[in-house]
Structure 1
Amino acid sequence: MSDATRPFFTIGYGGRPPEEFVGLLKAHGVKTVADVRLRPDRASMGAYTKAKAADKGIEKLLADAGIGYRSLPELGNVFLYLDDWTAPYGELIDRSGDLLTRRLVTLPGPFCLLCAEKRVAECHRGVIATHLVGRGAWRVEHIE
């Protein structure tokens, strides 16, 4: 890895208490969480829900820890309903990844891609990370 590469992280909140989740982000020096869920506003996500007001839900949880938050639904997994979502999502990122990841480069870093699945091997954030690393300007660490 080159020193010229920018670091970023990925994390899944599944099964993690909010305190553990925030502690992991802080321990890794994350400045901004990039939420790559298609529907972060679903009420069933508890503390990880993107509420209508920034003083509630995940935005408040992160703000209280001094961490910024951005929702990037354009990176959400629109193929999640398929048993084998990896092939079509991978094709989408192969074809349009530079456009879809454009907002990431404007985030205060290091940023962390966020989704629900605890293990990156089961989550589309791994596909996004592979795309970014393949561009040569990024290096990733998956927080598991």
Structure 2
Amino acid sequence: MPERREFFTIGYGGRPPEEFVGLLSAHGVKTVADVRIRPERASMGAYTKARTPDKGIEKLLGDRGIGYRSILELGNVFLDRGDWPVIYHDLMERAGDLLVARLVDLPGPFCLLCAEKRVADCHRRIIADYLVAHRGWAVEHIE
């Protein structure tokens, strides 16, 4: 089994940007792994992936010394379906190693980012569960 790593998850929904980056900093997060399917369409401007890194989420994080990576392949393409948790879980079980491959080399500790504030409502929980079960990693959900 690969080396044990610790990582976090967070949702920005309803959080002011300063609270959000404060939580990341307090937990020692070095890199945010954005697992949104369309980060350029965030409803809150500070969390939008802008065309250039001097704006939006990359600026917000960069100003605090936190790196940013968009991991589109981990986005929830099934979100419009009521049974998305079951389908997304099945996808992770079938193709998880391919989907999480870019997380392995991220400077850590890293944090999975999505919009939903509560992890119970978000696909990042399924990604985290996969990493714990299949990689032996440890997760803390920042709520």
Pairwise TM-score range, normalised by the shorter structure: over 0.9
1:12 corresponding residue in structure 2: 11
| 1:71-96 deviation digits (Å, cap 9, x = unpaired) | 00100000000112101100000000
Amino acid at match of 1:83: G
State how far apart, in whole Å, the 2-side matches of 1:34 and 1:44 are. Answer: 18
State how far apart, in whole Å, the 1-side matches of 2:44 and 2:75 are. Answer: 16
Q: After the TM superposition, which parts of structure 1 deviate over 6 Å for at least 4 consecutive aligned residues?
A: none
Relative distance call for 1:121 and 1:104 in structure 2 (3 A) is: same
State how far apart, in whole Å, the 2-side matches of 1:110 and 1:51 are. Answer: 24
Mind listing any 5+ residue stretches in structure 1 that lack a counterpart?
Answer: none
Shift of 1:115: 0.1
Shift of 1:43: 5.2
Is 1:27 matched with 2:26? yes
TM alignment of 1:1-144, pairs within 5 A: 5-42=4-41, 44-144=43-143
Relative distance call for 1:104 and 1:45 in structure 2 (3 A) is: same
Shift of 1:137: 3.1
After TM superposition, the structure 1 stretch with the greater mean CA deviation from structure 2, 32-41 or 132-141, is 132-141
SS in 2 for 1:108: coil
Relative distance call for 1:121 and 1:68 in structure 2 (3 A) is: same
Question: Once the two structures are aligned, what percentage of the paired residues are identical?
Answer: 74
How many residue pairs get matched?
141
State how far apart, in whole Å, the 2-side matches of 1:74 and 1:85 are. Answer: 16
CA root-mean-square deviation: 0.9
State how far apart, in whole Å, the 1-side matches of 2:7 and 2:99 are. Answer: 17
State how far apart, in whole Å, the 1-side matches of 2:32 and 2:101 are. Answer: 15
Query: TM-score scaled by structure 1?
Result: 0.95
